Structure 1
């Protein structure tokens, strides 16, 4: 197996690891009414979410690093932009990781003294986490994905239908984040989940393609 083939397979595995970690990072208790009083009984769920989101950092960045050597031979500008946005997204991921243990601390304080200011602080923290995870993070990933799928589409390193699917999925995901930012939808709503579903499904298909088939590196002629 040549280096590009191994790198593509590793990238596919990292995508699947990121998808699994993303599912485990969902902390449903924080989305429930009166969540601050519920947190002490669900501390393990909150901490698992933090660990899972931390795992997403090397998975997301590692995916870009695995593909970068091959992509840069096709278009250095687009590949560098893709990697850069992945690194920016990793920063937002890290911010999301740090926020989750703060919910545990607030929940413990609230259990000892149910003060209204703690509820207000917890709600502010929840809104901040939603803006980081579902707006800033998704927009950074989306911009990077647009560069990636544009490059893949132009160079035909994967089937064009798969690249086009990714472009559309990234576009829908970014629009969903803008709807969250403007308050037109929430993060746990049928509309938001439906708009993110195409990219989620495409990520799994792309991962399997990379593992089984890899990139069409024979189409790489020379650096541009």
Structure 2
């Protein structure tokens, strides 16, 4: 019996550490890529800047791709843990975070197209007024919608679902769950305001509304890696499951 409990606890500790690492991979690269973005996609004359910094643009795109995989991985890694406490919310959480990862990858493809457009723009002599500017405006509108509305909203829904399960089950401390619920609600609000053109994409207000969730996810990652999920909650659940199995067998 003790061996079984120890094995179960070890499995949950491993799962928690994996989830923590995925949270870091889904968050920290965004901070590291900011200087790359300033030199490329966020530069004032960004078509010329992107063409002149092809290596940085490709690295920026690769980082975004990695983040997409990590975000999808968070939902998949959490599912076997959360389904024991609320299967419906666990499925929803995994589904939305996988969708988020897919949208991130689509966004990466748009960055690759933007790189190709910038190179053709420079080859054409950087004309002041041409179809390049029209294509650039369309691409940037698509990138902004994916990044600041669709991605953020699907992330928010997926995260909201697992924070509800965390709060109900006490798998992590309540203060950390509440912080997550408040932070993710503000992030979803910012995404909706951008989606309905009430805020500009990646504007000051949207950045402010997303500030609470960023440190929360890093704290959550550190907690999961260092301490894992609440062992008493896991033990209680395992005991309840074992008792139900005995009753069913009887």
TM-score normalised according to structure 2 size: 0.84
Matched residue, 1:143: 157
Which range is displaced more, 31-40 or 166-175?
Answer: 31-40
Q: Secondary structure at the match of 1:88?
A: helix
> Aligned pair 1:173/2:187, yes or no?
yes
Alpha-carbon distance in 2 for matches of 1:217, 1:57: 30
Question: Larger Rg: 1 or 2?
Answer: 2
Q: What is the match of residue 162 of structure 1?
A: 176
2:78 to 67, 82, 103: 67
Q: Which residue does 2:6 correspond to in 1?
A: none
User: Any conservation in 2 of the 1:135–1:181 contact (CA below 8 Å)?
Assistant: yes
Once the 2 structures are TM-superposed, how far is the Cα of residue 25 of structure 1 from its aligned partner? 4.3
Shift of 1:16: 1.0
- How many angstroms does 1:187 deviate by? 3.2
Q: Map 1:1-224 onto structure 2 (within 5 A).
A: 2-26=10-34, 27-28=37-38, 29-113=40-124, 114=127, 116-220=130-234, 221=237, 222=240
Do 2:74 and 2:97's aligned partners in 1 also have CA atoms closer than 8 Å? no
CA distance in 1, matches of 2:29, 2:164: 26
**1:33 is paired with a residue of what secondary structure?**
coil
Contact 1:173 1:196 in 2 (8 A): yes
Q: CA deviation at 1:217?
A: 4.1
Contact 1:24 1:48 in 2 (8 A): no
Q: Displacement, 1:193?
A: 1.2
Q: Assess, with a 3 A threshold, how the Cα gap between structure 1 residues 122 and 110 changes in structure 2: closer, same or farther.
A: same
| 1:57 CA displacement | 2.3
Q: Say whether the 8 Å CA contact 1:61–1:86 is kept in structure 2.
A: yes
Aligned structure 1 segments of 4 or more residues deviating by more than 3 angstroms = none
Report if the CA contact (8 A) 1:25-1:50 is conserved. Answer: no
Aligned-pair RMSD on alpha carbons? Answer: 1.6
C-alpha deviation, 1:46, in angstroms: 1.6
Shift of 1:120: 1.0
Alpha-carbon distance, 1:102 to partner: 0.9
> Which deviates further from its counterpart, 191-200 or 180-189?
180-189
Point out where structure 1 has 5 or more consecutive residues left out of the alignment: none
1:175-207, Cα deviation, whole Å (9 max, x unpaired)? 111222233333343211111110111000100
Q: Which structure would you say has the larger RCO, counting Cα contacts within 8 Å and 6 or more residues apart?
A: 1
Distance in 1 between the 2:73 and 2:202 partners? Answer: 28
